[in-house]
Structure 1
Amino acid sequence: MATAFRATSHGYRADLDAHERRLLSSLCGDVIDLLQSRTDEVAEDSAEPVTDEDAESTQHLRQDPVLAHFSAELAGLGGSEVLDAPRDEVLARLLPAASRDPEQAGQLRRLAEASLRESKIADLRTARMLLESSPVQLAEDQAPLFGRAINDVRLTLATRMEIRTEEDAERVHRAAVSGRVKNTETFMAEIYTFITWLQETLFTAMVEFLPEDEDDEEGRE
């Protein structure tokens, strides 16, 4: 049976059963695949037919490593002025717009989305690695990224389960604790509730472990 995250002298620790760790790791893997599908989608949308002139230019870049590096950096920004938001609802929530203005949002997305995707994928991969050990032991610098990865899994489930309001969250909680015969709805509700609980225990442990205010420390000197 899972135990809450708690602060230790080496960071944070939670005891999770093997099937719980496998489930979390599998869900992290699903989110990684989803984010990587967005990378493929952006690459396909920005691809253009290659002309003879383009081929000659590419050959020239290969001969100049400085220009090749600069070209790779530009390619990572996308080939158009703006980048459209993801069509998938989950990706749109994981990679939110940075502005309410559509054109500005598209420009900012072109500049920043690739970096955000890679950062999330890195967090999720590290979380999977940490979930391989029992108990789950997080160093202080690993706790925030593990929390971010679990939150992305939670957001993915919340979107798929159409949790948008407090009332929706309460509906899911009731389904999780109802004791009804298991079906897809109750199973997903139990997973979502478990991940929410695990995330909250980690954040609580992190807050409790924060150093005391410097002013308070000076007052005691």
Structure 2
Amino acid sequence: MKKRITILTGAGMSAESGINTFRDAGGLWEGHDVMEVASPQGFARNPNLVLDFYNQRRKQLHEVSPNIAHRVLVELEDFFKVTIVTQNVDDLHERAGSSNVIHIHGELLKVRSTKNENVVLPWSNDLNLGDCCDEGHQLRPHIVWFGEAVPLLEEAAIATQNADIVIIIGTSMQVYPAASLIDYAQSRIPIYFVDPKPNVSRNNYDNLTVIAKTAVQGIPKLVTELIATIQEN
């Protein structure tokens, strides 16, 4: 039976593909207060602003490609049962070829009904006021906004709990509830933390290996080493 790897990825994973990170030090996202463009209240106040904001993000996504870190993670699937839990709303993991991806913060290339959150549709172009589901309700970005429940969090927690190895890539692990996922990992399993500015202490977790590099710099070597351990056994 293949060992199970759960990989937790954040904004740093996609930054090297050219996708801007969620927000800068001032709490702004592309010049907007995040609550203006990433909250139900912001959408209620100014739906056109919010829709335009995500239309621009969607256009940017069409202009970028998976980087080497996205691509080499796919190689792990030949040797391990891999689950990727990502905070990213892009589809770069899927485009690289990963087959099991849980998007806990939603997906940019999907929309859903404002009336029935279970009505989710693929959407690759602009979304405008007047674009409605079959029941006549306005569509909105399929993004988990501030103050909203994270419906896939339990699935992500189970994947982390069942893992034989956990890899954390390009995330500060400071934003909840995503940051709580590491607490579900079994004690004493190998945990690898890949980030150029890691802020997780080795003292907090058993068998933590910190790789103070970007995803592109650190992941190819780690993947090679993990595959080598399987081939040697």
TM-score (norm 1): 0.27
RCO higher in structure (CA 8 A, sep ≥6): 1
* Higher-Rg member (1/2): 1
- Higher share of residues assigned strand: 2
TM-score (norm 2): 0.26
- Higher share of residues assigned helix: 1
